[in-house]
């Protein structure tokens, strides 16, 4: 879980968490997550970014089902980090 904590911390530093999620903030968040996945899995950033459509399309089914009290910046970043890896075929069982 250290890896996930580090990723959340790094991405949190790159966005303005004092505001509601707006398109610009969400795009910055996605960029940060994509960069961390690429870096930590030694993959090309563009390869990871190709999974964006799938990740966004599946968000309502997964993240959207969480209780309101569980949703937040940290949860969203962790969700996206794992979802991107699943979308590109990385085994995420180490995070369970």
Lowest-confidence range among 31-35, 42-46, 62-66?
62-66
Q: Are residues 8 and 74 in contact, defined by beta-carbon separation less than 8 angstroms?
A: yes
Q: How far apart are the C-alpha atoms of 48 and 44, rounded to whole Å? A: 7
The whole-number pLDDT of residue 15 equals 84
What tokens appear for 66 in the block? 């969480």
* CA distance to 37, 75, 76, 93, per residue, from 45 (Å): 8, 22, 20, 22
In terms of pTM, does the model score above 0.75? yes
Q: How far apart are the C-alpha atoms of 33 and 10, rounded to whole Å? A: 9
Domain ranges of the chain: 2-91
């Amino acid at each position: 879980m250290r890896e996930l904590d580090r990723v959340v911390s790094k991405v949190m530093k790159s966005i303005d968490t004092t505001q509601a999620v707006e398109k610009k903030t969400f795009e910055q968040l996605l960029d940060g997550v994509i960069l961390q996945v690429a870096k930590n899995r030694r993959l090309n950033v563009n390869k990871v970014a190709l999974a964006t459509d799938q990740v966004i399309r599946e968000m309502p089914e997964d993240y959207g089902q969480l209780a309101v009290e569980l949703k937040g910046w940290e949860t969203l970043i962790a969700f996206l980090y794992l979802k991107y890896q699943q979308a590109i075929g990385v085994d995420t069982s180490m995070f369970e």
